[in-house]
Structure 1
Amino acid sequence: MPCSWMPAMPTEIQGRLPAAGDLESLLESTISIAIIQGPDQSSLDSVFTRLFEELNNRLNIPMTLTEPPVNRRICVVGGGYSYSFRADLFKGAAAVGVKLVIVDKPGHWVQALDGNEREAFLPIDMTRDEGFSGRIVAVCRESGLEFDGITTYADDLRVPTAQAAQELGLPTDSPEAFEICTSKDKFRQHFPIQGYPSLCVSSMAEFHARADELVPHFPFIIKPRNGANSAGVSKGETLAEAESLVEATIRSGSAALVEKYIDGPEVDIDFVFIDGEVAFCDISDEPPCTAEPFGPEDAPASFIESKAIYPGILPAFEHAVLRETALAALTKLGFKHGVFHMEARVIDSSMQWSRGKDERQLPHLEKKATQKEAQPRAMLIEINPRTQGHACTAAITSCYGIDYGLLQLLLCIEDTRRARLLSVPFADLKNTCAIVECMITPREGVFRGENMFDDLRDRLPHLMEKVVDEVIFYKDGDTVKDPSKRASWLAYFTVKSEQGREDAMRIGDDIRKNLRYEIVQVLE
């Protein structure tokens, strides 16, 4: 059992091959057992060799601690989208001896779970108002439970959760730092990019007063001050287009951030940050979206992600620039511990996206024909002070063996010893690639195809062998809204290959082409 005391192997057995009479003593100090079967000794030897190599690759950290860890209790504000999106967190918490108490609105699906997944559920009014953090504090105190930490996996809950942590005397970084990260205009004020102007306006009069600042710098990106999943993000090629997009953003109830569009490669930067240092860093590639050249052409133009590729393949120097820029930003904000998901683009990169030259014409990073004298720079688009969403965290766990959700739990209680141990990736990552394939909703209508992954697994099982995660966001009969008004994902799946990036890309493409589903147009 996790967190159980294990006796060491008896000294009289150490250093020699065990005999039949040693079995009982061996079992007392054994963590797990594998039974290997095969037609002959040669096959058994081959399987054992491969198993031993893989165990050395994956279990490349100390498996025991000199002292048993103390059981802890953590409050998690926000229960999450669904059980499948939280199952790994529940299992991980149990494995490290952490009891979870979930705070969310009355009737949330977590409330119906038994004590195996969470110790308690505390219902509160989840309205994001000035009294929100106070309600979190009150319900924690009224529960009579003693908490060791509090955290959240939702951007819009970060500030009130940090405020509640301060009031409860629990570890936290400053609410002000979280506020800068979750407000796009404040973030850009703190991290301006030389030569790339931006402005935030709350009215059309303010926009018209400052429009002349934009004219030399088109095209521009227009986005809401606060938002997630690229919702409301658009590109304006002309002043008239920008004006229309700004007006639509303000009409939706948000101030509009306007900043110069950068066409350099986009990446995700993920840090495990411990004591102000980077314990683990991953930089992944984000191919063009439907609103950009070489992006998918099977859905309306938007900036919602279409694919994520782990690891990224930009040159080492550009990765170093991205890493140092992200580290400097977290240091400037005063963060000490945490898991951070950051988005960035490379200005004056030596690489560019194009399409492959074969019949598939998949997105492909290639060297530019002519190189600029200017050195590459990193533009941080945003810092999300929490783990990535489920799609990408599952890919990262399968690719590297790093569980971001569990690490965020450990770091909110400042358990840095175990967090460092669990921030070590698999030993052999050669040719390993994981790709999250995001299926963007192509049109509105009624969905049919909730079993499309199971159907493909039955028809073409070899295609699904390397799929490590899959999610469909619709059930048969659900109405799919017009994606030209707001883009969304129909489904996603994650492919992991140990034969390299091209193999993973090919498998992902074949799966897309062979999935069967319908979106039936409803006639008025």
Structure 2
Amino acid sequence: MAVGTFPGERASLGHKATSSFSSVTSTHTQRPLSRPSNLYRPLFGEIIPLCDLYSIANVVVFPSSPSSSQTPFQPNPQQNRNGNAGARSAPPSPFIEALQNIGLGSPSWSASAISVFTIILPATDGYVTRSDFLKLRLQDFPYKILRTYEPLRPLQKYSATCPAPGPVTSEHDLATLVESAAGVVQWEDLPTSVSFVDLEVYRTRLAEELRDRLHNAPWLSSTPISRKRVALIRGRPNITAGGPVYRAAKALGLDLVIVDEEGHWLQADTEENKMHREAFLVTDMTEDSGVVDRIIQSIVNYPLPIHGVFTLSDNFFVAVAQVAEALGLPASPVSAFETSVDKYRSRLLQNVPGQTARVSSVRELESLLSSGSHQQAEFTPRFPLIVKPTKGWSSECVSKVNNLDDLATAVQKATSRHGSAAVIEPFFDGPEMDVNFVLLDGEILFSEIADEPPCDADSSAATVHSTFSPEALTLPSVLPAEEQDIAKSTLRDILVNLGFCTGVFHVEARMVNSTSEYRKQDGVVDLVRKHAVLMSESGVECKLIEINARPPGYRVSVPTRHTYGVDYFAAHMLAAVGDKSRLRLTTRPYSHVLGGNTNDSTRGGQYWSRLVYIPAPVAGTVQWPYKLPPCEELKRRRPDLADKIVLGVDYCVPGDKVELFTDGARTYVAHLLVMSRESRRDAIILGEEVQKAFSIDIEVPASSGTEVSDGETDVDANVEGSK
């Protein structure tokens, strides 16, 4: 990014800092600074109080003095045999040496660029809550970061250095700040052609952006943090899905133990696996009446204390809650999980009399419709309806039914999955959304709403075979603030009344009678205000679709971590071990205000983001004709999109077999997250462009053509809660 193009003009952080810089640099325009250690690379350092929690030291290193052509900071090679310098040599720079000692700077400094460093200095002593805190808070920074230095270990005590605000005139003092810093950032060099006015603007905006990311987010705890151990029941299926969990545990100083089947990829005691977990406890995970006792036995037999248990696998929620209850570990009540995993019982939390039923077979459906049962005699189908398994995930085997003829087809599909019954419930018309919460004793520490645009089954032309598989997510939500408040209060109350008071929860819902609707406007489909004549006179309601008592799946958690700076996996593990203090500290979003909107509904996001799902275009065998993963190939082919793609994740490798559908849900081959600092509309357009430009080569078997299949796929592990 060019200096002077930082988005969002705002008032300067302080005139004192600005004026002091101007006075020093104006001197530099007349003559090189003359301190001995800066003979060839003059620099300027300044301490700026960023907020109550942090000060920063910004250091600007200017190009070499024109009076010398030798390599900066190196002895002059032009010496005679008697050791006398043929030209004046530059003594070592303490500041530069300190930078190079921590791996920053460069062994060959450019003589034609301006280097900028920021030293992060917490204002008080404390204990490290998370060792990669700076990396998390500075991700996707508008100015390019070359390197980041974070020397702090998780849980260690940090002693604060509190220098006085103002210019730093001693390189030895700057070197001391580097050595005692909580973190140091090296920014991309600036060209020497930049004016001092633009350089001053750059420094001011740099400090403003750092303030928005750090001012409400303590890195340190005022009290010591005890080291704890947490058990993950069922490890993740691969490093892509598991990496965010393992990295978060390591950064938090949590010792992670995996409980899973023989043959899991994390079982072997390799050096790489030891980086991800402390131990692997081989356990028979067959889902029968004895699985809880087997998990308990594995944990009890482990020689070190385990302070919490958790799972990210939907079909093990109840079992893990029973394990926690038996061992006296922190967890929500078993009864809460039993309700949340049963779609019929959770539907009854907002029951619509006469429109909800549960059947275990088509024959039972026929009996219900012909004569009714003593339990469901009032059931009268009102179309459209939704039919789905009482036990399921990721929109598997969920059908929209518009007529009586298709009802049996939908029930047959739903009851064939997991051997569970089918729930028949109303279809709630309105914008669908993901509402995510981090709760502590019923208090909302953090919540966000992501808008889910209409899917195939939302169409007026949808059939019983159409799917509810998501196509994209857009953050932050553009629903009116009052409707977002209704959604959050309604769903939070449902969670707490069930007994879910502490933890991370991923709830799916719809806004009925919303004042907004999805409509194409200026070529873009997005939520817009309804025309007055179409607005319902009924009150706006938030209708629950389902409760997932866990973070969103890894691909849906990614946008939150990047957009808001909140890591759901970290929060989930801290809740599991009962670390309430750190749970509160690690759920602070950024303080950005998007588009000048001071409404709290958009506060905290550093940009608008769009998560794009890439479904398999055909069934067949994956190929990589360009020898590059498709996401990487897309960025190389379309450099105009590359810097807008925050990340791209491919799910398959050459040779993988993919189907169009997996258990009634679309099979995905990748997801990409795009961002825009300009507008939500721009983020949506970028997402659509990325989706169109994405290319994957799938070889279709000659005998099958492009026939739709409901077979299994090697691509996506839906059972692991991918949404």
TM-score bracket for this pair, using the shorter chain length: over 0.9
Distance 1:251-1:170 versus aligned 2 partners, 3 A rule: closer
Of the three residues 350, 353, 366, the one matched with 1:192 is 350
Of the three residues 449, 460, 464, the one matched with 1:283 is 449
Of the three residues 155, 164, 168, the one matched with 1:14 is 164
Distance 1:48-1:249 versus aligned 2 partners, 3 A rule: same
Correspondence 1:148 to 2:326? no
Q: Distance in 1 between matches of 2:553 and 2:412?
A: 30
Structure 2 matches for 1:343-382, cutoff 5 A? 343-358=508-523, 361-368=524-531, 369-382=533-546
Distance 1:250-1:87 versus aligned 2 partners, 3 A rule: closer
Partner of 1:508: 687
Correspondence 1:176 to 2:315? no
Of the three residues 396, 401, 409, the one matched with 2:573 is 409
Distance 1:491-1:76 versus aligned 2 partners, 3 A rule: same
Distance 1:132-1:517 versus aligned 2 partners, 3 A rule: same
Partner of 2:616: 441
Q: Distance in 2 between matches of 1:314 and 1:294?
A: 22
Work out whether residues 294 and 354 of structure 1, in 8 Å CA contact, stay in contact via their aligned partners in 2: no
Distance 1:251-1:99 versus aligned 2 partners, 3 A rule: closer
Shift of 1:216: 5.2
Q: Deviations over 1:468-516 (max 9, x none)?
A: 2222222223222242863221211111221121111111111122222
Q: Distance in 2 between matches of 1:130 and 1:500?
A: 52
Structure of greater relative contact order (alpha carbons < 8 Å, 6+ residues apart)? 1
Shift of 1:15: 4.2
Q: 303-312 or 483-492, which moves further after superposition? A: 483-492
Q: 400-409 or 44-53, which moves further after superposition? A: 44-53
Distance 1:294-1:59 versus aligned 2 partners, 3 A rule: farther
Q: Deviations over 1:344-369 (max 9, x none)?
A: 011111121223342xx545444244
Q: Distance in 2 between matches of 1:294 and 1:362?
A: 16
Q: 19-28 or 215-224, which moves further after superposition? A: 19-28
Structure 2 matches for 1:52-451, cutoff 5 A? 52-60=207-215, 61-112=217-268, 113-189=272-348, 191-194=349-352, 197-211=355-369, 217-252=382-417, 253-293=419-459, 301-358=466-523, 361-368=524-531, 369-431=533-595, 432-449=607-624, 451=629
Distance 1:55-1:332 versus aligned 2 partners, 3 A rule: same
Partner of 2:202: 47
Partner of 2:16: none
Q: Distance in 2 between matches of 1:214 and 1:353?
A: 31
Q: Distance in 1 between matches of 2:688 and 2:362?
A: 44
Aligned length: 517
Shift of 1:24: 4.6
Work out whether residues 289 and 296 of structure 1, in 8 Å CA contact, stay in contact via their aligned partners in 2: no
Q: TM-score, normalised by structure 2?
A: 0.68
Work out whether residues 288 and 294 of structure 1, in 8 Å CA contact, stay in contact via their aligned partners in 2: no
Shift of 1:83: 0.8
Work out whether residues 196 and 260 of structure 1, in 8 Å CA contact, stay in contact via their aligned partners in 2: no
Q: Distance in 1 between matches of 2:359 and 2:411?
A: 8
Distance 1:470-1:81 versus aligned 2 partners, 3 A rule: farther
Q: 269-278 or 445-454, which moves further after superposition? A: 445-454
Work out whether residues 102 and 120 of structure 1, in 8 Å CA contact, stay in contact via their aligned partners in 2: yes
Q: Deviations over 1:138-184 (max 9, x none)?
A: 11111212011111112111111111111222111111111111111
Work out whether residues 340 and 385 of structure 1, in 8 Å CA contact, stay in contact via their aligned partners in 2: yes
Q: Distance in 2 between matches of 1:217 and 1:355?
A: 29
Q: Distance in 2 between matches of 1:179 and 1:246?
A: 22
Work out whether residues 387 and 404 of structure 1, in 8 Å CA contact, stay in contact via their aligned partners in 2: yes
Distance 1:127-1:64 versus aligned 2 partners, 3 A rule: same
Q: Distance in 2 between matches of 1:412 and 1:68?
A: 19
Partner of 1:471: 649
Work out whether residues 621 and 656 of structure 2, in 8 Å CA contact, stay in contact via their aligned partners in 1: yes
Q: 224-233 or 25-34, which moves further after superposition? A: 25-34
Distance 1:24-1:7 versus aligned 2 partners, 3 A rule: farther
Correspondence 1:456 to 2:634? yes
Q: Secondary structure at the match of 2:158?
A: coil
Give aligned-pair identity as a percent: 31
Q: 147-156 or 53-62, which moves further after superposition? A: 53-62
Amino acid at match of 1:82: N
Q: Deviations over 1:305-360 (max 9, x none)?
A: 111111111111211111111111012112221000000011111121223342xx
- Alignment gaps of 5+ in structure 2: 1-151, 371-377, 596-606, 704-723
Shift of 1:294: 8.2
Work out whether residues 295 and 363 of structure 1, in 8 Å CA contact, stay in contact via their aligned partners in 2: no
Amino acid at match of 2:622: F
Amino acid at match of 2:214: L
Structural RMSD (CA): 2.2
Q: Distance in 1 between matches of 2:639 and 2:178?
A: 38
Which structure: larger Rg?
2
Work out whether residues 472 and 612 of structure 2, in 8 Å CA contact, stay in contact via their aligned partners in 1: yes
Q: Distance in 1 between matches of 2:203 and 2:462?
A: 44
Q: Deviations over 1:427-458 (max 9, x none)?
A: 11414211110112233222234622211221
Correspondence 1:38 to 2:190? yes
Amino acid at match of 1:136: I
Shift of 1:215: 5.1
Amino acid at match of 1:17: P
Distance 1:116-1:429 versus aligned 2 partners, 3 A rule: farther
Distance 1:196-1:472 versus aligned 2 partners, 3 A rule: farther
Q: Secondary structure at the match of 1:200?
A: strand
Of the three residues 649, 659, 664, the one matched with 1:481 is 659
Q: TM-score, normalised by structure 1?
A: 0.93
Report runs of 4+ in structure 1 exceeding 4 Å deviation. Answer: 212-216, 294-297
Amino acid at match of 2:635: R
Q: Distance in 1 between matches of 2:563 and 2:218?
A: 20
- Alignment gaps of 5+ in structure 1: none
Work out whether residues 199 and 259 of structure 1, in 8 Å CA contact, stay in contact via their aligned partners in 2: yes
Q: Deviations over 1:399-418 (max 9, x none)?
A: 00000000001111221111
Distance 1:194-1:65 versus aligned 2 partners, 3 A rule: same
Q: Distance in 1 between matches of 2:581 and 2:513?
A: 39
Q: Distance in 2 between matches of 1:226 and 1:70?
A: 38
Q: Secondary structure at the match of 1:114?
A: helix
Q: Distance in 2 between matches of 1:352 and 1:214?
A: 30
Q: Secondary structure at the match of 1:519?
A: strand
